[in-house]
Amino acid sequence: MKSPKQFLIDNLRSIPDFPKPGINFRDITSWFINPDCIDVMTDLLVARYKDEGITKIVGLESRGFLMGSVLSRELHAGFVLARKPGKLPVKSLSESYTKEYGTDSLEIACDAIGPDDVVLIHDDLLATGGTALAAYKLVEKFHPKKILISFLIELTDEGLHGRDRFPKDVQLDTLVTV
């Protein structure tokens, strides 16, 4: 019988030469169309985080919203949206970051996280780490008790080193590394 992680790897769609020649795009939407994959992801994530005392899940726009909201329900934690600029209707804190072709920002509502919170930042993919690092810096502005970071998949096969951008003491986990 396959391990749960091998099951996910076997169900991961790879699209060669997308979005440009030489790139092997790892398409996790193949996991979301398969309810067995959703169950496996949920079970693995809940098993990993059930004893961490998490009070808030921060989901990064937009694919971090998918499993982040499932985790929020399963761990009985609040769900916090980390949105692109101008999408939140309330006062928010923001953090800017550099992308391949410019800059972008993430915003979180000012009242979303408190000093007693244990926060799990969740996103779908760790590649270069720019967006997730911005989310980490943004959550730090709220001075929570603890910050953990979770990804569904980490890409290392293209020589990406996103994990290396984070402080060494940050608990950063991925379900699958390719």
The catalytic site residues sit at 63, 100
Q: Which runs of E-coded beta strand occur in the chain?
A: 13-16, 24-27, 56-60, 78-82, 92-99, 102-109, 118-126, 146-154, 171-177
Enter the tokens of residue 130: 């720019």
State the sign of the Cα–Cα–Cα–Cα dihedral 104, 78, 122, 111: positive
Q: Please state, as a whole number, how many other Cβ atoms lie within 10 Å of the Cβ of residue 170.
A: 14
Distance CA 58, CA 102 (A): 24
